[in-house]
Structure 1
Amino acid sequence: MSHSDNGQTKSAATRRRVLAAMGGASVVGLAGCVGGDGGDGGDGSDGGDGTNEFVASAAANPGTFDPTIITDATSNSVVGTMAYERLVALTFDYSEFRGELASSYEQVDDTTFRFQLREGVTFHNGDEFTAEDVQFSINRTSGTTNDADVSFIENVEILGDYEVEITSTDPHAPFLNDLAAVPILTSKTDAISESPEQDDHSFTEQTLGTGPWELEEFSAEDRAVLVPYDDYWYDGDDYPGTAPWDRVTIRVIPEQVSQEEAMAAGELDMIDNAAPFELDQWENQTGEVVTGSAVGFDFITYPVNQSPFTNEKLRRGMTRLLPKSDVIEAVFGGYATELAGPISPGLGAFWDPEHEQNLLDEYVGQDEEEGLRLIGEAFEEEGIEAPFDVSFITNVNRTRERWMEIIQQTMDETEYFNAELDVRAFDDLVPFLLDPEGAAASTDVVGIGWTGGSDPDGHINQLLHSSQHVPDGFNWNLYENEEMDSLITEGQTTLGAEERLPIYQDIQELVAQEVPMANMWTGDVIDVLNPANVESVDQWSPHPNASNRYNTLYKPHLDEIVYPAE
């Protein structure tokens, strides 16, 4: 049974929150009634052959199965955190780091950590895990889109087969947090190298991690099937040595309504993409709703280097028009928290509601009169004749499409914009964002989500630092500000939450002033489970980070496990 609390509330509380009204803002119709009494099992529960199979849905096709270069939450959740492990891992409530492939670790000084490694651990191809694999995996990550996870590292010294010492250039506050994002692969096969683009290995044929699951089958746009790794290293007394499920199948179902229909028909044991405005449908259906706190957030980005968006007044004026509180009630049923910047409530010590409200009041909260005034001044200053054509781009996701359509309509109803909504498959949107000639070179406004993490640096650095311009990072609108770069570095190199708090408040204020992005809200995690196939729904812990959503099935060293029903 899971020992993580995570502050989640169960279905009784959730069901009281339903869509009150979409009003005139909604053009997207609500899904039709989802009927059925559980069906005949279909692809779900027992796998059709008496095995214990857990069947879940993914809203997008995994972008890659090479864990080093994964850039999306779907790929991470399907294989990145199930088949691969890190030196350390955070508990689900973000209260502590625990050793994963490290049996123990100690901080030697402000810039150095020493790790004792687990012995007798093998990779899925049979290779033994040793210190050289840690060095190899860190070097492999360097220079990729995920370079920010290792760029602080100055040296990885192998002290023995099962001991490494990692040194940072300067004191690095998110040291363990960043290492917890670096997957460890075997260095002992010629099929992969320190440069992922030079690999000969097919990661869709075989995973090369040490995790409790290994890939058995992958069919693009259809499903990924994982099975327990028989030689998994866990040998504790509290939980079984391998996962209690015979296999986990992740079906690719992009449409939210299709996920819900499959769940209602008994074909799925979990959906991770339930419409928050239709949670009442599960009152008499197969699913049971479980919610939890989240750290990620939704946001829109402005093309700050393209006229007229080079004008700060235009960006702030548009942000002032955003009806965030109305959207939170209408689309999220109240299960979200309004944001002024990229720091979310899940970050605990770094979240200051009073400071947040001050930024909303002064800079980026809804104020229609002020918003229209600022837009008008910007148009005059830039010599722009209204209406200006602008596309609002997002990915296929019924919830996101709804709030993006409300934003698009809000702008279109002014005299200043001829606004349209452009909905793309996630697989098409990501390359557009990561291409310097894509989003950055257009006048499109992009709406998307960011999974964030347990440290504020993970909410800011890759999106806002100039060193993270695409394709080297995720700063896809090519925003650049020396003060921002300096504050981010200061936040990374200052130790202690109390000492770092004012730095991130300054970052929040700079974002609110310059508005390279408009941060919207943090929505709660909402999972819907089939109680017929799990021993107890209470075992299920929704993870605050979407990249780790299936880890609760079996992470024994983090006290996470869900057993099949008898």
Structure 2
Amino acid sequence: MLTRRVVIGLIVGLLVFGVWAVSETDVPETPEASVGGTLVIGVSQTFRDLDPRISDSIYDWYVIGEVFDDLIALDPETLEPRPYVAKSWNVVSDKQIRFYLNQGIKFHNGEDLTAEDVAFTLNSIVDPENDSPNCWALSWMQEAIVVNSSTVDILVKAEYAPYAPLFSALNLAIVPKDTVLEMGDEKFNLNPIGSGPYKFVRWIVGTEIVLERNEDYWLVYPNLDRAIYRPIPTLSVMMGQLETGAIDIADNMPFQDIPRFQANPNVDVWQCPDLSYFYLFFNLQHAPGNDIRYREAVGMSIDMDEAIYAIFQGLTGIRAYGCIPPALWANDRDYLAYDIALEEDDIQANWLFSQLKAEGVISEDYETTIYCPLDPRRTQLATIIAESLKENGLDARVQSLDWGPYLDLINRSEADPLGEDFDQGIIGWSGGPDPHDFLYYLLHSDNAVVGAADNFSFYRNPEVDYLISTADTTLDQEKRERLYVEAQRLCFEEYVHIPLYHLIETKGVRTRVHGFRIDPLGGIHLCDPYHNVWVE
């Protein structure tokens, strides 16, 4: 898709104090487009909230993303922050970022979008009295301050400053301050008014949400007359409607239906790895998990390529080699795959287990348990791993638990129903569009906290902590990438995790739809700086 610029300016690649970071907003060009028509989207869950300050559902955001404009866009190729409502920004100091807004943006009721609206939106999210489920994304923010009608300063808490991941976190929709205060939160949530390319028309709960074109949209003329979102929780029903043309986009597609639709000339199957990471983690607080030989032997017992293929058939999941998904920068996938990843070596694994037994690290009749949630894919994979360990002389069994008891166990919670420690478990993680969201939460010692851990291995490495923390507080993008790469290599050289898989985002799209692009974050975008979807 071609793009043009709203404001001509210079892009400076590095975020340096006092230097412009960016100074233009992209606009999608679709000269070949047919303007008009209705797009119907099948949604695999029902809708809950349409106020972006309180919605934490990706399904709600299908709609929110069209009714509202975001302060910052994310480049769909790199997921790096780019201009949107904010046409530019500069780093005033490590505790102060100044954002300059595009002028002339109007909400659907005719009110101007100004810095007052930006500050109101952000401050209401972080205000503890509002109990927003999205406040965690702005935990680093102290306050948003209006400088003038088109300029807003965002202040970073001292303990976070400087905080590089903040830019990705500001991919947030802006609400109209005066309208929200006049309508009240509850009414606004059901009848949202934004500045986006499509206006809210109606919401028939459980049936559909209807949007219509914003004829006065500031960025570009939206190609569609209308967009209709229909909840269809039963995927077999959704696939039937996609096949007949009753819907144009299916937001989810079961793996067993993929080959059928790949052979259908009227449907395109869109796929890309999403921002998930599933892995086998070890308990590093006691033997045998705290012995690298044990971790290495477990990894060498598994034919990982065969195991992942057996579960996903090459359709909805791919093998992982590190914790940063392939869609993100700094993933270092090739190096991890060829230089660090363990491949099946039954002879070496058998020898390592024998050595551990001879030294008394584990007993001759030691039985290990692989814990996992009640999820068919993870249970199947745990079973494959257990059988592989048995073949190499280590007795193993699988224990699947409900989600609550499982979290109690791996968090070392006092509510742990088993009253026992464990050797390893399978878990998954979905993060945001920055490597920080994976490395910091899963491998930094800050998150090795009894009762509330995300670092479930309780891995503590001062060198890794330093690399991650330095990357998080460095505004030089190239330096950040080098630091994250080095931190991830150190962790996986120690086999803290055995990476398992990343899920593949899969959507079905009728061939009459043009300008669609699949999003690793799971969104469906119709019109923004990188999209302007149209239909034949």
**Normalising by structure 1, what TM-score?**
0.68
The match for 2:323 is 342
1:418 deviates by: 2.5
The match for 1:540 is 516
Could you give the per-residue CA deviations for residues 204-253 of structure 1, whole angstroms, max 9, x where no partner exists?
A: 5233644334473263xx5552413647x6235xx42x461423214243
Q: Which whole-Å CA distance do the structure 2 matches of 1:308 and 1:145 have between them?
A: 38
Q: Which whole-Å CA distance do the structure 2 matches of 1:522 and 1:263 have between them?
A: 26
The match for 1:33 is none
1:477 deviates by: 3.7
For residue 527 of structure 1, the aligned residue among 470, 487, 507 is 507
Count of matched residue positions in the alignment of Structure 1 and Structure 2: 484
Q: Secondary structure at the match of 1:81?
A: helix
Q: Secondary structure at the match of 1:92?
A: coil
Matches within 5 A, 1:317-396: 317-330=297-310, 331-333=312-314, 338-348=319-329, 351=332, 353-361=334-342, 365-368=343-346, 377=356, 381=361, 387-388=367-368, 390-393=370-373
Q: Does 2:108 correspond to 1:117?
A: no
Q: Which whole-Å CA distance do the structure 1 matches of 2:409 and 2:214 have between them?
A: 39
The match for 2:174 is 184
For residue 118 of structure 2, the aligned residue among 134, 139, 142 is 134
Q: Which whole-Å CA distance do the structure 2 matches of 1:185 and 1:409 have between them?
A: 49
Change (3 A) 1:122 1:141: same
Q: Which whole-Å CA distance do the structure 1 matches of 2:518 and 2:379 have between them?
A: 25
The match for 2:381 is 406
Matches within 5 A, 1:167-206: 167-168=155-156, 169=158, 170-180=161-171, 182-188=172-178, 201=186, 205-206=190-191
Corresponding letter in the other structure for 2:191: Q
Is 2:273–2:503's contact at 8 Å kept on the other side of the alignment? yes
1:100 deviates by: 1.9
The match for 1:47 is none
The match for 2:21 is none
The match for 2:532 is 561
1:508 deviates by: 1.2
Q: Which whole-Å CA distance do the structure 1 matches of 2:415 and 2:208 have between them?
A: 30
Q: Secondary structure at the match of 1:541?
A: coil
Change (3 A) 1:431 1:234: farther
Change (3 A) 1:108 1:191: closer
1:491 deviates by: 1.0
1:522 deviates by: 4.0
Could you give the per-residue CA deviations for residues 484-507 of structure 1, whole angstroms, max 9, x where no partner exists?
A: 443321111223343233421332
Matches within 5 A, 1:485-500: 485-500=465-480
Change (3 A) 1:250 1:304: farther
Q: Which whole-Å CA distance do the structure 1 matches of 2:228 and 2:450 have between them?
A: 33
**Normalising by structure 2, what TM-score?**
0.72
Q: Which whole-Å CA distance do the structure 2 matches of 1:224 and 1:502 have between them?
A: 47
Q: Which whole-Å CA distance do the structure 2 matches of 1:470 and 1:515 have between them?
A: 20
Change (3 A) 1:432 1:347: same
Is 2:448–2:455's contact at 8 Å kept on the other side of the alignment? yes
Q: Does 2:43 correspond to 1:57?
A: yes
Q: Which whole-Å CA distance do the structure 2 matches of 1:359 and 1:296 have between them?
A: 21
1:436 deviates by: 8.8
Point out the structure with the larger strand share: 2
Q: Which whole-Å CA distance do the structure 2 matches of 1:430 and 1:203 have between them?
A: 38
The match for 2:153 is 165
1:563 deviates by: 1.1
Is 1:132–1:158's contact at 8 Å kept on the other side of the alignment? yes
For residue 243 of structure 2, the aligned residue among 259, 264, 277 is 264
The match for 1:253 is 233
Q: Which whole-Å CA distance do the structure 1 matches of 2:425 and 2:444 have between them?
A: 19
Q: Secondary structure at the match of 2:224?
A: coil
Matches within 5 A, 1:373-522: 377=356, 381=361, 387-388=367-368, 390-393=370-373, 401-402=376-377, 404-412=379-387, 414=390, 416-420=395-399, 445-448=425-428, 450=430, 452-453=432-433, 455-465=434-444, 475=454, 477=456, 479=458, 481=460, 483=462, 484-512=464-492, 517-522=497-502
1:528 deviates by: 1.9
Q: Which whole-Å CA distance do the structure 2 matches of 1:229 and 1:359 have between them?
A: 51
Is 2:70–2:174's contact at 8 Å kept on the other side of the alignment? yes
Is 2:48–2:55's contact at 8 Å kept on the other side of the alignment? yes
Residue identity over aligned pairs, in percent, reads 19
Corresponding letter in the other structure for 1:281: R
